[in-house]
Amino acid sequence: MSEAVETPARKEVRETLIVSRRVREFPDDAHTFERATSDGAYEIWKEVLRRADVQWIHDEVKASGLRGRGGANFPTAIKWESLPDNGLPRHLVINGDEGEPSTFKDRLLIEGDPHALIEGVCIEAYRIGSHRAFIYLRGEFALGADRIEQAVHDARAAGYVGSNILGSGFDVEIVVHRGAGAYICGEESALIESLEGKRGMPRIKPPLPIHVGLYSEPTVVNNVETVCTIPHILKMGGAQYANLGVNRSTGTRLAAISGHVNNPGVYELEFGMTLRDIIFGIAGGIRGDKQLKFFLPGGASFQWLIASDEHLDQVYDIDDISAKLGTTLGSGAIMVYDEDTDPLLVAWRLAKFYAHESCGKCTPCREGSGWLEKVLYRMSHGQGRPNDMDALLDISAGISPDVMKAPFTQTTICPLGPSPVSAIASLQKYFRAEVEAACAAGVPA
C-alpha cells in the first residue's frame, strides 16, 4: 500500500499488557488450568458458544484491524474472508515454529499461557468452521510442548475442547505436532508439508494455503500471538482494540529485544513508540555505557538501522517504517549491537544461519546463501579480498535482483532466500568504508 501515512501521535514509554498480561501477572502458574480459569480463561469461548454468532467474531476482529503477528502482517479477518466455499473440510493450523534467530516472543505464550492459545484456537476454529486444529511447535520447545499437551488435556477434560463442546453441538479436536528443527517449517506451506509427513519445503504459490492447504484442503495458518489476541479483541471489543496503536498498526505486539541492551526480554508494546524509546526506554539502553552502533528492528531477515536520529526517531509502525526506511518489523524481534561490534561478523553469522536453514529447493538460495557465507567468513576472519564487497552484491543480485530495495524482489520460491541479502544491503548502505578497510587490511588467503 503506497497511501500516505500520517505522522503518528507519540506514545507513552510504557508497556501495554493485553496478550501477555496473565503470564506477566502470574509468571509461576499462569500455565495451569486452575490459575488460567480463575483468571478468566475460556469465559470468552463460553460467550462465543452462547451467542453462536460467527459474524460477531468476524466483525469484531475485522474492526480491530488485527494483522498477523508471524511477520507478513496480513489482516486476519481478510484471510478468513478468502476462504473458499467449496464444501471441503477446513483446517486451522497454528504456527508455533518460531525459529528465527532472536525471535522468542511466541515462546512466552506457548510456555506461559497455553490456555489462552487454546481458547483462541477454539474461537478461530469456530469462526472458520474447522473441526481439527493443529498446533505446530518448534521441535526444541520441549517444555512448551508438555505444557500445551497438558493444557489440551485439561481443556478437553473440562469440556472446552472435543466433541459437542458444552452442549453446543460444535466439535473441535486439537492436535499438537512438534517440528524437527528446521527453520523453514515456519513458512506456512513448508509447515503444511511437514505436517503431512513430508520433507519441509515450501510449495509453489499460487495456490495459497487458504485455497489448497493441508491435505489439499482450505487451511488458515496463523501465528501463536495472532491467535492469542483474538479472545482479547472479543472481550474488549474490536473498536476498543483498534484505538490502540497508530494508523493501520493497531493494538499491541510482543517485541523480543535482545543484544547489547541492559534489559533484554519480551515486552508488549503499543504500536507508535519511537525506536529510541524502545531501545533506550523500554530495554534500558546499551549496557556497559557503550554507544549504540546498529540494530535490527525486525528480526534477522530484514535490513538494519543505525544510531542516527532519523532511525531512532522512527515510529514503531508497520507501514511507516517500510515506507520511510525500507525495512520492516518482521517477527517482532529487535537486535541491538554496541559500538564494539564488527558488522561483518554479524552479517557472517546471519548468512551462516540462512545457508544452514535453506531448504535446498531453489538454486539461488541453496547455492547463493552458502556462497555468501563462505565469502563473509573470509572477510570477517581476516582473509578479505579487495573486491569482496562487490562480489557479495553480485551474488546477492542473483538471489534478490534489486539488492538494495525493500521489500525485496526474489528469484526464489520463498523469502528465506533473500533474507541474507538484507544483511549485505545493510553493510553496503552503512558500513561500506569499514568493510573495505577490513578487507584491505586482511591477509589474503
Ligand X SMILES: Cc1cc2nc3c(=O)[nH]c(=O)nc-3n(C[C@H](O)[C@H](O)[C@H](O)COP(=O)(O)O)c2cc1C
Euclidean distance between CA atoms 347 and 379, whole angstroms: 10
3-class DSSP state of 287: helix
Binding mask 220-239 for other proteins (x = CB under 8 A): --------------------
Contact 249, 321 (CB under 8 A): no
By CB under 8 A, the residues from 299 to 358 that bind other proteins are: 355-358
Using rule CB under 8 A, residue 82 touches other proteins? no
Q: What are phi and psi of 266, to 5 degrees?
A: -100, 125
DSSP class of residue 161 equals S
* Neighbouring residues of 230: CB distance < 8 A, sequence distance ≥ 6: 57, 61, 66, 76, 120, 123, 124
Q: Tell me the three cell numbers of residue 231.
A: 479472545
Nearest-approach distance from CB 230 to ligand X, in angstroms: 10
* Neighbouring residues of 167: CB distance < 8 A, sequence distance ≥ 6: none
Residue 68: CB atoms within 10 A of its CB come to 19
Residue 239: CB atoms within 10 A of its CB come to 12
Nearest-approach distance from CB 416 to other proteins, in angstroms: 10
Q: Which is nearer to other proteins, 146 or 402 (CB)?
A: 402
Q: Which is nearer to ligand X, 18 or 416 (CB)?
A: 416
Among the listed ranges 96-104, 142-150, 342-350, 420-428, the one in contact with ligand X (CB under 6 A) is 96-104
Q: Which is nearer to other proteins, 60 or 357 (CB)?
A: 357
Among the listed ranges 93-101, 174-182, 278-286, 335-343, the one in contact with ligand X (CB under 6 A) is 93-101
User: Which of 8, 65, 71, 330 lies at the binding interface for ligand X (CB under 6 A)?
Assistant: 71
Using rule CB under 8 A, residue 375 touches other proteins? yes
User: Which of 61, 135, 346, 362 lies at the binding interface for ligand SF4 (CB under 6 A)?
Assistant: 362
- 82 interacts with, out of ligand X, other proteins, ligand SF4, none, CB within 5 to 8 A per kind: none
Using rule CB under 6 A, residue 254 touches ligand X? no
User: Which of 222, 369, 380, 422 lies at the binding interface for other proteins (CB under 8 A)?
Assistant: 369
Contact 239, 217 (CB under 8 A): no
Binding mask 182-221 for other proteins (x = CB under 8 A): x-x--------------x----x-----------------
Contact 299, 100 (CB under 8 A): yes
Euclidean distance between CA atoms 54 and 238, whole angstroms: 14
- 221 interacts with, out of other proteins, ligand SF4, ligand X, none, CB within 5 to 8 A per kind: ligand X
Among residues 61, 255, 91, which one has the least CA distance to residue 177? 91
Using rule CB under 6 A, residue 57 touches ligand SF4? no
By CB under 6 A, the residues from 282 to 341 that bind ligand X are: none
* Neighbouring residues of 283: CB distance < 8 A, sequence distance ≥ 6: 257, 261, 262, 263, 264, 265, 267, 334, 336
Residues that bind other proteins (CB under 8 A): 182, 184, 199, 204, 355-364, 366-371, 374-375, 378, 391, 394, 397-398, 401, 409-413
